[in-house]
Amino acid sequence: MYFTLLGPTGEHDAHMRYLGVGRAGLLLEAGLDPLREGLAALPALGALEDHAEYYPVDAILLSHAHVDHMAALPVLARRWPRAQILCTEATWRLARLQLCRHATLWGEAWDAGESLEEPLYGAADVQELESRLRLVERGERLNPIATEPGLFLTPLDAGHILGSCSWLVEHEGRRLFYTADVCGRPQSVIQGAVYPNPPVDVVVSESTVAWSPRHAALSRRDEIERLAGALREVAAVGGSVLMPVFNMGRAQELLFILHSLKRKGRIPPLPVYVGRRAWEIAQLYDHFAARDRRLLPDFKFAETMVDVLDLEEDAVELEGSRIFLVPSGMMHPRSASWQVARQLAPLPLHAIFFVGHAAGGSFAKRVLQSQAGEVLDFDGQQLPRHCRVESFLSSSHSSLPELLDMLRRVKAVHVVALPGRKDSAERLLAAALEQDPTLRTDVALPGQELDLSAP
């Protein structure tokens, strides 16, 4: 086995990895950098294309449907037309929504002359993927590649978002566990990750938040109670709250939390406005409720009684207190969260509450780091920020203690840490060696090939 990290690379946030197994080649993920456009948004494909005989691609394995993990799929499928695409049905349904949306927006911008970047794919390319799909069930042991009959793949629940999976790869007695984005603890809606039986020879592990002592000490109950108290305070003065969210995963978690807090009387019965696409995804969560590992199998988002907000059609009304749970999480200019923030920011009775990560360089990070009274630039409109701004800790990634618990439970022999935020990979490996000094460890570096064979 040999492993090469193709993305993310430094500032580029498109996830893709290559795993060579015998005569077979697997692409793990098919991400697109959401902050870039056109060809610049794709992962680094040069090595694969320049040395095709050394890097065959027999299958593309998707872990989940976030843009940075799957939105380059039509491009990769076109470049490797014989490669199978393996993912869960829920991941495909979520991915198709995203891919079709990208194709539509890019096409409209190109046709209107608003973008200099030719669309990477269109609706027909997304439709073409259907014939290449192999939808899998988590826990199902697969033998999908005829040229390498000794290769077996088993998807396991990653606990990250609806449909997400890690992958167990077995070949000639060697067992590799690729965690992808994994959450070891239960969230509000879905249960925590499932790990393979021990022992595992190689664990290729994410490390996204392993750098953070706050995540390591996170008490989900305490953060929810702190959020409830802050919502009560804003409502008491007649203010409204903006919570910038990603449409997939975070939006559904917060919808459930707000519904639960209102039902228990811990916050007033405030109207909640959610973005149209986040609500479409919530409906998919309901569709798969009976088949997914849910904490409350009978809960349905249809019970939450929210108003769907489409800022292309609806004006933002601020009479009375209300909660806006709208994208984008990074508050991209002209997004729903950016437009709502423009109205809330100048008034001290309102609030912007961040629940999750705000990337460096994003407008969300600019708002989060701003001081009261500081002027914010809303596309040329200069507005002072007088509203309340606060951050609440939440993550669908495993903390450092949870990653260490995973390594202990699977009895890992060799750990390859994927880059995370800051020095997450190095911190994970240092803590793992402290836990088990016999471990073999590597940090995956962009473009570097790692030999994962037995020492």
- Alpha-carbon torsion 238, 340, 249, 303, what sign? positive
Range of the domain at 321: 219-392
Residues 226 and 205 in one domain: no
Question: Which of 348, 374, 392 delimits the end of a domain?
Answer: 392
Residues 194 and 119 in one domain: yes
Question: Which of 373, 392, 411 delimits the end of a domain?
Answer: 392
Q: What was the pLDDT predicted at 430?
A: 97
Which CATH number belongs to the domain containing residue 71 in this structure? 3.60.15.10
Residues 404 and 383 in one domain: no
Residues 176 and 243 in one domain: no
Residues 121 and 84 in one domain: yes
DSSP states of 12-60: EEEEEEEEEETTEEEEE-----TTS-GGGGS---HHHHHTTTTS---EE
* pLDDT tens readout for residues 204-239: 999 999 988 888 877 888 999 999 999 999 999 999
CA 59/CA 66 separation, integer angstroms: 19
Q: What was the pLDDT predicted at 314?
A: 55
Residues 183 and 278 in one domain: no
- SS3 assignment for 102-162: HHHHHHHHHHCCCCCCCCCCCHHHHHHHHHHEEEECCCCCECCCCCCCCEEEEEEECCCCC
pTM for the model stands at 0.93
Q: How far is CA 326 from CA 270, 295, 323, 338, 357, in A?
A: 15, 24, 9, 9, 15
Residues 13 and 156 in one domain: yes
Which segments in the chain show pLDDT lower than 70? 10-12, 309-315
* pLDDT tens readout for residues 259-303: 999 999 999 999 999 989 999 999 999 999 988 888 888 889 988
Residues 209 and 227 in one domain: no
Q: What was the pLDDT predicted at 244?
A: 95
Q: What was the pLDDT predicted at 353?
A: 98
Question: Which of 375, 392, 409 delimits the end of a domain?
Answer: 392
The per-residue pLDDT of the chain, averaged, comes to 92
CA 276/CA 259 separation, integer angstroms: 18
Residues 385 and 409 in one domain: no
Q: What was the pLDDT predicted at 315?
A: 61
Residues 34 and 164 in one domain: yes
- Tell me how many domains the chain contains: 2
Q: What was the pLDDT predicted at 413?
A: 97
Which CATH number belongs to the domain containing residue 282 in this structure? 3.40.50.10890
Residues 204 and 237 in one domain: no
Residues 64 and 193 in one domain: yes
**Does residue 276 contact residue 359 with C-beta atoms inside 8 Å?**
no
